[in-house]
Amino acid sequence: MSVKAKFLSLIFPTFLMIGCAGFSDHTVYISEQQIQSKLNDKLVIPLSLLKVFDLSLSNANVKFDHATGRMHTKFDTQLMNQLTGKKMAGKLAVSGNLHLDASTNSVILNDAEVDDFVIDGVEPKYADAMTGIAKMLGSQLLNGLNLYTVKADSLKVGKTQYYPKEMKVTDRGLVVTLSPYH
């Protein structure tokens, strides 16, 4: 076998493997901290509740539950009564299912539920009413919230364009599988 033939027999499989690598799936990992940061950025603007209260959320603490596929989040809250000007602090706990929207390359919060809403110093008779309002309005305001968009540089490797194919919830984060367009 000539040197040229040996060279081609070694280099051809290498180029073939490199070329085929552009046709395989790859994964993107999204951590709890990345989602927390996005939530803190998105929810910096106060939410208006019945045009009487402004609810500010901060310090998101996100935990993923791989068994149920749900995300559980606790927030520090500031509730401002627009009528009296009084500010109150508390905690809000929210959970929801996560959905991968391939059309927007995003992770979306669905089936959002307010699990707990506690405002410090509120009398029990008012606390139940406030929790009921928060549960009703909170799920409406948070359903469909875009939690994370896969970065453009993850969606294109070389000349190959990828799309989000599936997402798996783990206890440490999200694993998004990207597949090439054919």
Q: Where are the domains of the chain?
A: 31-150
Task: Pick the closest to residue 118 from 97, 89, 144 (CA basis).
Answer: 89
Distances in Å between the alpha carbon of 149 and those of 106, 108, 122?
A: 4, 9, 38
Identify the pLDDT of residue 44: 76
Task: Pick the closest to residue 164 from 19, 20, 71, 26 (CA basis).
Answer: 26
Q: What type of residue sits at position 133?
A: I
Stretch 23-35: mean pLDDT: 90
Q: What type of residue sits at position 41?
A: D
Identify the pLDDT of residue 56: 87
Q: What's the pLDDT tens digit per position in 138-164?
A: 778 889 999 999 988 888 888 888 988
Which CATH number fits the domain 31-150, given the four candidates 3.40.50.1100, 3.15.10.40, 3.30.1490.20, 3.10.20.30?
3.15.10.40
Q: How many residues does the chain have?
A: 182
Tokens of 41: 């950025």
Q: What type of residue sits at position 83?
A: L
Tokens of 80: 């401002």
Task: Pick the closest to residue 167 from 159, 155, 156, 175 (CA basis).
Answer: 175
Q: What's the pLDDT tens digit per position in 83-141?
A: 888 898 999 999 999 999 988 999 999 999 999 988 888 888 788 887 887 787 777 88
pTM, entire model: 0.78
Q: How many CB atoms lie within 10 A of CB 155?
A: 17
Hey, which bits of 34-153 come out as E strands? 47-49, 53-65, 70-81, 87-101, 106-119, 145-149
